[in-house]
């Protein structure tokens, strides 16, 4: 069950619950910085995200997952049509790839990304290879996207989580940070940042064009 505890001295610019996910993170507390509303992407998407025991859109994904978290979710996503699940979204196929990665289905995400090459898909492609512990190919895809529109938000949100970085978001430095964190067996912060990265990019791809225009 999700547990809420109070933070004595809030360090964030907006109220944020401290949420514990013992099933997915070995009892580690994950600070959720972004307001994430699965229902804003439609009930079918919210229902899929709810299949995670950690809560919809709140799963602290492993930095280097070894297998899909659920074969039933994997099979469900394989039968899903991206444009039916995400009608009028900015990038339906990339959003579906994000769902595969959320449930640690790297192979399936990779196959989809190869079939639909977009700028946002290149970002997911880089994340996928980073999760594969393949820094060379991760760097290749991050280099291809150049400066993504989400980088300023990533820099801001990662800084709020306590991730020390330069004046702008550097996906190459984060590859190294993930590797070093895993090697030191202290990956809590890296997973927090990775979760925020997933939330931001998923929202960017899954948001309808009309809703994005009003932001």
pLDDT given at position 165: 86
Band (pLDDT 50/70/90 cuts) for residue 24 is: very low
Give the mean model confidence (pLDDT) for residues 168-194.
96
CA–CA distance, 90 with 93 (Å, rounded to integer): 9
Q: With contact defined as beta carbons under 8 Å apart, do 94 and 205 qualify?
A: yes
pLDDT given at position 115: 85
* Three-point CA angle 1, 184, 150, nearest 5°: 70
The values of phi and psi at residue 203, to 5°, are -60, -40
In a domain, 59, yes or no: no
In a domain, 10, yes or no: no
Could you tell me which of 203, 154, 176, 191 has the C-alpha nearest to residue 61? 191
**pLDDT beyond 80 at 132:** yes
pLDDT in tens, 50-70: 998 877 888 889 999 999 999
In a domain, 116, yes or no: yes
- Give residue 72's domain range: 66-213
pLDDT-wise least confident of 1-5, 159-163, 208-212: 1-5
CA–CA distance, 108 with 105 (Å, rounded to integer): 6
In a domain, 77, yes or no: yes
Only one residue has tokens 């931001």, namely 200
pLDDT-wise least confident of 23-37, 126-140, 158-172: 23-37
What is the tally of structural domains in the chain? Answer: 1
The values of phi and psi at residue 20, to 5°, are -105, 135
- Report the Cα–Cα distance between both ends of the chain, in Å, rounded: 34
Q: With contact defined as beta carbons under 8 Å apart, do 94 and 115 qualify?
A: no
DSSP 8-state code for residue 38? G
pLDDT given at position 35: 76
CA–CA distance, 195 with 131 (Å, rounded to integer): 13
**pLDDT above 90 as % of the chain:** 70
* Three-point CA angle 83, 106, 101, nearest 5°: 55
31 beta partners: 18
**pLDDT beyond 70 at 16:** no
pLDDT greater at residue 105 or residue 52 = 105
pTM: predicted TM-score of the whole model, two decimal places: 0.83
């Amino acid at each position: 069950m999700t547990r809420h505890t109070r933070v004595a001295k809030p360090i964030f610019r907006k109220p944020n619950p401290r949420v514990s996910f013992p099933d997915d993170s070995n009892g580690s507390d994950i600070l959720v910085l972004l307001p994430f509303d699965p229902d804003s992407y439609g009930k079918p998407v919210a229902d899929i995200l709810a299949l995670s025991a950690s809560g919809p859109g709140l799963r602290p994904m492993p930095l280097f997952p070894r297998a899909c978290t659920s074969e039933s979710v994997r099979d469900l996503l394989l039968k899903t049509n991206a444009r039916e699940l995400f009608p009028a979204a900015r990038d339906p196929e990339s959003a579906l790839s994000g769902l595969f990665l959320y449930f640690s289905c790297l192979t399936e995400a990779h196959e989809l990304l190869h079939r639909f090459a977009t700028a946002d898909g290149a970002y997911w492609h880089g994340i996928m290879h980073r999760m594969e512990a393949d820094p060379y190919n991760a760097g290749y895809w991050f280099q291809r996207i150049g400066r993504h529109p989400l980088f300023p938000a990533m820099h801001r949100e990662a800084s709020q989580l306590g991730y020390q970085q330069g004046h702008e978001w550097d996906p190459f430095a984060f590859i190294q940070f993930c590797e070093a964190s895993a090697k030191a067996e202290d990956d809590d912060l890296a997973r927090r940042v990775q979760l925020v990265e997933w939330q931001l990019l998923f929202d960017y791809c899954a948001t309808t064009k009309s809703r994005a225009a009003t932001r």
